[in-house]
Amino acid sequence: MSTNDEVSFERLLIDEVQLLLDEKRAFLSLMRTGIFILIAQLLIISILIATSRFYEIISVLHMIIPFYAINIALALLGCYLIIHAFFRIRHYDYAVSFDGHFSPISVAAPCHGTDSFRCRSQSLPSERP
């Protein structure tokens, strides 16, 4: 490989790792959104409990039941967002660490033996037969 190919390969490697880190950052913001949804609905419930002495629950039951149904749906949504983001963040951490069998960079996988299909499909454009 010439030095120009090595520089372009390193640049490709850096760009793909930066892309993975950007995707991880997006899932961190998704987790932050899920946490905010959980905290916001708990804040609203605590305000309702603090002001409950000013109204009777029986007289506002027609508003309380849909409100709690919406709160349960928001709590489930917040939990889903947090759990989904957590597992995706772990996936991207694993991808960036280069451990195990998963390699985020399709062209960076080691290739020993040029006759296999995997090696031909993962070679750099300048190295393809």
What six digits make up the tokens of 120?
A: 């031909």
CA 116 → CA 70, 113, 121, 122, distances in Å?
A: 56, 7, 9, 10
Tokens encoding 15: 């760009």
- Predicted TM-score (pTM) of the model is 0.67
Tokens 């372009």 sit on residue: 8
Report pLDDT digits (tens) over 84-124.
Answer: 999 999 988 888 876 544 454 443 444 444 444 344 444 44
pLDDT score, position 124: 40
